[in-house]
Amino acid sequence: MEEIGLSKYSPIPLTKSYTPKNGLKYVSRVLGSGHTGGNGFYTQKCHNWFKENFGFKNCWLTSSCTDALEMSALLLEIKAGDEVIIPSYNFPSAANAFLLRGAKVVYISSSACKPNMDIAEFKAAITPKTKAVILLHYAGFADNLSSILSTAKKHGIAVVEDAAHALGAQYEDQWLGSFGDIACFSFHQTKNISCGEGGLIVVNKPELCEKADEIWQMGTNRAAYQRGEVNRYSWKRIGSSFLPSELNAALLLANLEHFQEIQKKRHEVWNRYYQELRGLPKSLIGLPSIPSKNMHSAHIFYIILPTEKLRNKAIKKLKQAGVQSAPHYSYLHIEALQQKEIIAFNNSPGIDFERQLLRLPIYPDLSIAEQKRIISCIHEFVYEIEN
């Protein structure tokens, strides 16, 4: 599914990492410094960047978004018997982080026309055992956020924003990642901002910050020791080594310095797709449904095909033109065969995102000519279906 295949055209990949101007320079400085381990100069520079640009006062770089999610489970003291609600259309990390703590994961549907969480199913899934909800901002969109937050507050449920797709996205002029008790971001090579492998956890509840400091560094109070608050550091709680190396942090900072440029180019690509494809029959090519009050992150551009069979034909058509396209997630409640008991609320009659959604290439270096090739290919595909 991921192979581009043979074509007379130069290949267009699905994603492509941005190459920052200062990347090699910063990485070389780290190698020359002798401090390649974590929590050094570049880690702190990245932390400060997020504080200054997004107001994330309490944040920690991690080795991945998966690590950030696992850290959030430890922060919330998730344990056996607790229930955690997540959308079933999701990446396995969202479930793994809480299954590792012994929790029971409750899977719910996406809304009828968007991959975001269905608010009615969220409310129906709440029980006295519900400890947290993992709110996936799919493609950098937030939907029903006010209702989800108020419902969670009413029932005393912690909210973790899975913002892997959402760096730079806003809801009601507020940055995604600043709404929940905790937020988790990804800097994997496929993301808008990348350092190969990396993540970030944002803690918006001040009372959790000391605990986060300790969990981040093997469950010790090493951070307090480094600040001169204690004479030696010791083991305080269950934790892990969640911090990335300075090499990753250096590359991340180099990319963050181009954040505005990267986002501007990605939005241009996203908007061009939307404008050029919106005239096609909606029954054949569905486009992303943009919730109100949103500024999305231009992380993913997807189309919705009527059936899985037609989606596979579209993939083949694009592949013949040298264009890589791909489906996305599977439904976790179906794949979670290792669990003895599955709790799933999946009654939504809407789009079958696992079988109908198709992602198109989007990255800053995608040229107008390359994008026109992709758009023309989709127009030709629709013409062939209709005739």
Q: DSSP secondary structure string, 290-310?
A: --TTEE-----EEEE-SSHHH
pLDDT on residue 240: 94
Close Cβ partners of 82 (under 8 Å, ≥ 6 residues apart): 98, 101, 102, 103, 104, 129, 130, 131, 132
Q: Are residues 319 and 227 in the same domain?
A: no
Question: For residue 293, is pLDDT > 90?
Answer: no
pLDDT on residue 345: 67
7 domain residue, yes or no: no
Q: pLDDT band at 151, cuts 50/70/90?
A: very high
Q: Are residues 30 and 176 in the same domain?
A: yes
Q: Are residues 97 and 208 in the same domain?
A: yes
pLDDT on residue 291: 81
Mean pLDDT of the chain: 94
Question: For residue 50, is pLDDT > 80?
Answer: yes
Q: Are residues 145 and 245 in the same domain?
A: yes
Least confidently predicted of 120-124, 182-186, 273-277 = 120-124
Read off the tokens for 260: 């505005």
Q: DSSP secondary structure string, 15-78?
A: ------TTHHHHHHHHHHHT--SSSSHHHHHHHHHHHHHH---SEEEES-HHHHHHHHHHHTT-
Q: Name the domain boundary from 232, 254, 276.
A: 254
Q: pLDDT band at 16, cuts 50/70/90?
A: very high
CATH of the domain at 273: 3.90.1150.10
2 domain residue, yes or no: no
Domain span including residue 364 = 259-384
181 domain residue, yes or no: yes
The residue with tokens 């969670």 is 152
Determine what percent of the chain is predicted with pLDDT higher than 70: 95
Q: Region 127-131: what's the mean pLDDT?
A: 97
15 domain residue, yes or no: no
Q: Name the domain boundary from 254, 285, 313.
A: 254
Q: Are residues 310 and 223 in the same domain?
A: no
Question: For residue 27, is pLDDT > 80?
Answer: yes
pLDDT on residue 249: 99
**Cα–Cα distance measured from residue 144 to residue 107, given in angstroms and rounded to the nearest whole number:** 18
- Clarify whether 317 is annotated catalytic: no
Q: Name the domain boundary from 225, 254, 283.
A: 254
5 domain residue, yes or no: no
Q: Are residues 122 and 227 in the same domain?
A: yes
Torsion of CA 295, 299, 303, 307, to 10 degrees: -120
Determine what percent of the chain is predicted with pLDDT higher than 90: 86
pLDDT tens for 68-106 read 999 999 999 999 999 999 999 999 999 999 999 999 999
**Cα–Cα distance measured from residue 363 to residue 299, given in angstroms and rounded to the nearest whole number:** 8
14 domain residue, yes or no: no
pLDDT on residue 46: 99
Q: pLDDT band at 228, cuts 50/70/90?
A: confident
Q: Are residues 77 and 199 in the same domain?
A: yes
Q: Are residues 224 and 276 in the same domain?
A: no
Q: pLDDT band at 378, cuts 50/70/90?
A: very high
Q: Are residues 215 and 333 in the same domain?
A: no
CATH of the domain at 231: 3.40.640.10
What's the number of domains the chain is made of?
2
Q: Are residues 180 and 221 in the same domain?
A: yes
- Taken in order 54, 56, 61, 65, the sign of the CA dihedral is negative
Question: For residue 18, is pLDDT > 60?
Answer: yes
pLDDT on residue 1: 38
Q: Are residues 247 and 292 in the same domain?
A: no
Q: Which of 104, 114, 131, 191 is catalytic?
A: 191
29 domain residue, yes or no: yes
**What is the pTM assigned to this prediction?**
0.94
Q: Are residues 127 and 220 in the same domain?
A: yes
Q: What is the SS3 string spanning 225-281? A: HHCCCCCCCCECCCCCECCCCHHHHHHHHHHHCCHHHHHHHHHHHHHHHHHHHCCCC
Q: pLDDT band at 2, cuts 50/70/90?
A: very low
The phi and psi torsions of 106 (rounded to 5 degrees) equal -105, 120
Question: For residue 254, is pLDDT > 80?
Answer: yes
191 domain residue, yes or no: yes
pLDDT on residue 33: 96
The residue with tokens 């190396």 is 245
